[in-house]
Amino acid sequence: MGDYKRLKTPLSEDDILSLKSGDRVLLSGYIYTARDAAHKRLLESLDKGEEPPIDLKGIVIYYCGPSPARPGRPIGAAGPTTAYRMDPFTPRMLELGVKGFIGKGKRSKEVIEALKTLKGVYFAATGGAGALLSQRIKEAEVVAYEDLGPEAIRKLYVEDFPLIVVNDAYGNDLYEEGRRKYRKI
């Protein structure tokens, strides 16, 4: 297994440019959860001229709707959700300064293109490894849209969160490359 790259949030443009599809990353620092409903509400409020509830510059968004925390724990199971549902919102999030996205599953052509032109990275976390990933989350706090329950925006402090770069800022796509390499029909 190749070595892990260690990265800290917020991500700089240099961080982004140093990443290639297939790189394995251990991410530490603050990241923010947001799913369909939170994206929708955030962008709608910006359209109305309102301030965003969080500073979006250089942040990493985690597509995740955790299960409830047991007493004494910061969070429940917290693996990634399928990313394509957020595709329509992603180019705009990049324009607003978001640098990284964590989810699972393929992204649209438009997203892959926007990652290239606006310099961002899409990481995959292991889907369904919700218990394992939960243990790498040290703090969690709802910072916006509490009424959305599991879909609220949460600020998480993660340590050594294990990720793999799927779409880098150069237009590469690990899902395509990986599949081609092992395809036998």
Partner 1 sequence: MREIHVDRIIGTVKNLCIKANYELPQDVREFLLKALEKEESEVGKEVIKQLLENADIAQRERIPICQDTGSAVVFVELGQDVHIVGGNLHEAINEGVRRGYTEGYLRKSIVRDPLRRKNTGDNTPAFIHVELVPGDKMKITVLPKGGGSENMGKLVILTPAEGIEGVKKFVIKAVEEAGPNPCPPVVLGVGIGGTFEYATYLAKKALLRPLGVRHPDPFYAKLEEELIDEINKLGIGPQGLGGITTALDVHVEYSATHITSLPVAVNFNCHATRRAEAEL
**φ, ψ for residue 140, nearest 5 deg:** -150, 135
Binding status of residue 131 toward ligand SF4 by CB under 6 A? no
Tokens (6 digits) for 66: 């955790």
Q: From residue 72 to residue 101, what is the string marking binding to ligand SF4 with x (rule CB under 6 A)? A: -------x----------------------
Binding status of residue 175 toward partner 1 by CB under 8 A? yes
Instruction: Give me the active site residues, please.
Output: 39
Region of residue 135 (left: phi > 0; alpha: psi -120 to 50; beta: else): alpha
Binding status of residue 142 toward partner 1 by CB under 8 A? no
Separation of alpha carbons 97 and 130, rounded Å: 28
Interacting positions 58-87 with partner 1 (CB under 8 A): 64-70, 73, 76-79, 81-82, 84
Q: Are 169 and 131 in contact (CB under 8 A)?
A: no
Binding status of residue 128 toward ligand SF4 by CB under 6 A? yes
Task: Please name the residue ranges forming H helices in the chain.
Answer: 13-17, 36-47, 90-95, 109-118, 130-134, 174-182
Q: From residue 153 to residue 182, what is the string marking binding to ligand SF4 with x (rule CB under 6 A)? A: ------------------------------
Q: Amino acid letter at 95?
A: E
Residue 77 C-beta: closest distance to ligand SF4, Å: 9
**φ, ψ for residue 142, nearest 5 deg:** -75, 125
**Residue (55 or 177) nearer to partner 1, CB:** 177
**Residue (10 or 130) nearer to ligand SF4, CB:** 130
Binding status of residue 68 toward ligand SF4 by CB under 6 A? no
